[in-house]
Chain A
Amino acid sequence: MAFKLILGAWLSIILIVGFSFPITTNPTNWYDLPFVPGLEDKARILFFHVPMAWVTTLAFIISLIYGIKYLTKKNLDYDIISSSSAGLGMMFCVLATVTGSLWAKFTWGSFWNWDPRETSIFVLLLIYGAYFALRSAIDGDEKKATLSAVYAIIAGITVPFFIFIMPRIVEGLHPNEAIVSQGKISMNKTMLVIFLSSLAAFTGLFFWILNLKVRAARLESKYYLKGE
């Protein structure tokens, strides 16, 4: 309970701080955020969009781990965790894609540019979509659990290939690549602290919602067991 209240307060503080700290060309005060040419106020997306993308990946990894656990132990409880995590991951994936796309329109000029990271999140979205399409097409809990776990593993194995492939096809547009090419990292200490605490807060939020989802799914399966 205490953990949840702290999380609520924490994310509220991040929202206030992330929006209200001024962006100046020459950061001197502790609360000043650095000015990035071409980004200005749009740099604030960092505090909200990147954690969403991180949670998407985290959810996929958790889904993968519990999928493997299901295959070795054949315990349906692992499948409940695995599929709940994938469901949440898909939601965060849509959020990250939409926020990123909206931001890209005003920074890079179009909603979609096939930048390496845009491509990989698009592929992740496709995988999540295919995963749930597969689940809805199979009858029987155990069959559903096994096949979707196998599919998640095969799909997860192919994702790292994009790290090698995409740079050969298009050049990166994402801000961190632009920042590195200028020869200095323009994220100052304040920005880094807000960013990292936002990452932690979003991770906490993800685990909380996952916990709720898993408990609801467990109750559902218990109800069906009782009914039969």
Chain B
Amino acid sequence: MVESIKIILTIFKKDLYSELRTRYALNALLMFVITTLSIILFSIGNESVSPELLSGVLWIIIFFSTMSGLSRTFVSEEERGTVMTLHLIAKPLKIYFGKLLFNLALLLGLNIFTVALYLLFVTSFSVGNYAIFITTIILGTLGLASGSTIIAAIIAKANTKGTLYPVLSFPILLPLLLTVINATKLSVENALFAEALGEFQILFSYLIVLTVISFLLFEFIWKE
């Protein structure tokens, strides 16, 4: 148990260091968020937009930045030809969890950045209940990372990687997106924490189901 956690952490660290050295995904992603946000700010202009609508827009930014960034984890291994080496050093499940951890860290950093910018610059978006808002962001990030990691593993084996990623991910992430948008709306409307409990239950069970099924199926993808 301790041994496998060590291996998972090693894979996580390897990805983290190589990312920090090359900044391949990070720089592009930060620029992506800034670009998208400025387009939204330009299009809003001086109009007053309802905060309910803006809570949907926030998740549109997060969804598309996830789609442009997270496919890299497995694709880069495939492109650099390091898949065989990974096959040798670790069992599939450990690789999956190492990659999941890295994607989670990347997405969490990205989402904190996005949400901070969003709260600062989109003035008509004001959160009423921060407890709901923060829980939604955290659970949403966990679910997005879990769903997009397994799809990224599938994508790495296909020919047209970039365009296929959002196509495959959208139907799977749709339950998550609908729920987080609903929960964000509740946080804007300053609802009680208990009112959003149903949303959190759905998010939590979604996270568990998707992680377990990825855990069971990853071996089949990895061995291909």
A–B in direct contact per CB < 8 Å = yes
Which A residues are within 8 Å of any B CB, using their own CB? 71, 123, 126-127, 129-130, 133-134, 137-139, 142-143, 146-147, 149-151, 153-155, 157-158, 161-162, 164-166, 168-169
Q: Once the chains bind, are B178 and A154 in contact (CB under 8 Å)? A: no
Across the interface, B171 reaches (CB within 8 A) one of A137, A158, A169, namely A158
- Identify the closest chain A residue to B174 (Cβ): A123
- Identify the closest chain A residue to B212 (Cβ): A157
Interface status of B112 (Cβ within 8 A of chain A): no
Main secondary structure of the interface of B (DSSP, over half): helix
In whole angstroms, what is the CA distance A137 to B167 when docked?
Answer: 12
Of the listed residues A129, A146, A150, the one surrounded by the most CB atoms of chain B closer than 10 A to its CB is A150
In the complex with contacts A130-B168, A147-B224, A137-B158 CB distance below 8 A: yes
**From residue 89 to 103 of chain B, which have CB atoms closer than 8 A to chain A?**
none
Q: Once the chains bind, are B157 and A133 in contact (CB under 8 Å)? A: no
Q: Once the chains bind, are A158 and B168 in contact (CB under 8 Å)? A: no
In whole angstroms, what is the CA distance A139 to B221 when docked?
Answer: 14
Q: Which of B40-48, B67-75, B202-210 contacts A (4 or more CB under 8 A)?
A: B202-210
In the complex with contacts A126-B170, A154-B214, A158-B210, A143-B182 CB distance below 8 A: no
Question: Can you report 11 A-B residue pairs in the complex whose CB atoms are below 8 A from each other?
Answer: A71-B220, A123-B174, A129-B167, A137-B160, A154-B150, A157-B213, A158-B174, A158-B209, A161-B175, A161-B206, A168-B199
Q: Once the chains bind, are B170 and A138 in contact (CB under 8 Å)? A: no
Contacts of A138 in B (CB 8 A): 157-159
Q: Once the chains bind, are A147 and B217 in contact (CB under 8 Å)? A: no
- Identify the closest chain B residue to A161 (Cβ): B175
Contacts of B206 in A (CB 8 A): 158, 161
Contacts of A126 in B (CB 8 A): 170-171, 174
A193 to chain B, nearest CB (A): 36
Q: Once the chains bind, are B168 and A133 in contact (CB under 8 Å)? A: yes
In the complex with contacts A133-B164, A165-B178, A139-B171 CB distance below 8 A: no
Known: A154-B150, A154-B151. 20 other contacts (CB 8 A): A123-B171, A130-B171, A134-B158, A134-B168, A137-B159, A137-B160, A138-B157, A142-B224, A149-B220, A150-B220, A153-B213, A154-B172, A154-B214, A158-B171, A158-B172, A164-B202, A165-B178, A168-B182, A168-B198, A169-B178
Across the interface, B221 reaches (CB within 8 A) one of A123, A133, A146, A155, namely A146
Of the listed residues B150, B159, B178, the one surrounded by the most CB atoms of chain A closer than 10 A to its CB is B178
Of the listed residues B168, B171, B206, B221, the one surrounded by the most CB atoms of chain A closer than 10 A to its CB is B171
- Identify the closest chain B residue to A126 (Cβ): B171
In the complex with contacts A146-B224, A162-B175, A165-B179, A153-B217 CB distance below 8 A: yes
B87 to chain A, nearest CB (A): 16
In whole angstroms, what is the CA distance A153 to B151 when docked?
Answer: 12
Contacts of B213 in A (CB 8 A): 153-154, 157
**From residue 133 to 190 of chain B, which have CB atoms closer than 8 A to chain A?**
150-151, 154, 157-160, 164, 167-168, 170-172, 174-175, 178-179, 182
Contacts of B179 in A (CB 8 A): 165
Q: Once the chains bind, are A169 and B158 in contact (CB under 8 Å)? A: no
Contacts of A139 in B (CB 8 A): 159
- Identify the closest chain B residue to A125 (Cβ): B171
Q: Once the chains bind, are B202 and A165 in contact (CB under 8 Å)? A: yes
Q: Once the chains bind, are B210 and A157 in contact (CB under 8 Å)? A: yes
Across the interface, A143 reaches (CB within 8 A) one of B157, B198, B199, namely B157
B173 to chain A, nearest CB (A): 8
A197 to chain B, nearest CB (A): 33
A123 to chain B, nearest CB (A): 5
B215 to chain A, nearest CB (A): 12
Contacts of A165 in B (CB 8 A): 175, 178-179, 182, 202
- Identify the closest chain B residue to A148 (Cβ): B154
Contacts of A161 in B (CB 8 A): 175, 202, 206
In the complex with contacts A147-B157, A165-B178, A127-B171 CB distance below 8 A: yes
Across the interface, A150 reaches (CB within 8 A) one of B167, B198, B209, B221, namely B221
A208 to chain B, nearest CB (A): 29
Across the interface, B154 reaches (CB within 8 A) one of A151, A158, A166, A169, namely A151
